[in-house]
Each structure stands twice: as C-alpha cells, then as structure tokens.
Amino acid sequence: MLNEAKDLFSSLNFKVTNDCHGLSLLADSFLRQLFYNFIDNTRKYGKKTTTIRVHYEKVNDSELQLIYEDDGIGISEENKLKLFREGFSTGGSTGYGLFLSRKI
C-alpha cells in the first residue's frame, strides 16, 4: 500500500523507504489513503526532507505499531498537540487531512 500511495505522485524530491519486509496486514484501500495523506503532508511541509521511512515495532505478541517518519523540518511542540484536530492547519489548508487520517 505504501508503494501504491507513493506511485500516485508524479515525482517526489525524497526517497521513500519501506522497512516492513515480511509484514502482512489485512487492510482496505484506506491504508493507501493514509499513506498518501502522510506523504502529501511531508511533500508540502517537510521543506528539507530527504527520506521517508515506514517500519514497524512489535508492542507485544498480538500488537504492533506501524511507524511513519521523515527527516523534514519537524513540528513544533505547540502544534503537535493540535495536529489531528479538525480544522487545524499550519499551512493554510483545510485542516481535514490529518484529522481524517486519524479517523482512518
């Protein structure tokens, strides 16, 4: 799904690394949409991004965390608390992208 989301962009100025080798998830197209939203936010706001990395960590025997990270400029501590709120935007957008991503 990560590769499918990446391929929806005509060009990206950074590398996308998928370190989820051997991981299988049962998911619908919303997972692709989630990755698309994250990549789009990195593209718009990361400014100096060179790499996106997606990987996972086991939490326990029945849970894992899927981790999306980039090396862009980052998010201020103040904005981190508001990032997934409906209508919140740091760049003049609608503020629904990350809000809907959280719902997904």
CB atoms within 10 A of CB 57: 9
pLDDT at 30: 93
Number of domains the chain is built from: 1
Tell me what pLDDT residue 18 has: 96
Asked, for residue 41, whether it belongs to a domain, the answer is yes
**pTM of the complete model:** 0.88
Strand partners, 15: 51
Beta strands in the chain (DSSP E): 15-18, 51-60, 63-70
Residue 64 has a pLDDT of 93
CA pair distance 52, 70, nearest whole angstrom: 4
In a domain, 88, yes or no: no
- pLDDT of res. 9: 96
Kindly report the CATH number assigned to the domain that includes residue 32. 3.30.565.10
Whether 91 is covered by a domain: the verdict is no
Residue ranges for the chain with pLDDT beneath 70: none
Which pLDDT belongs to residue 29? 87
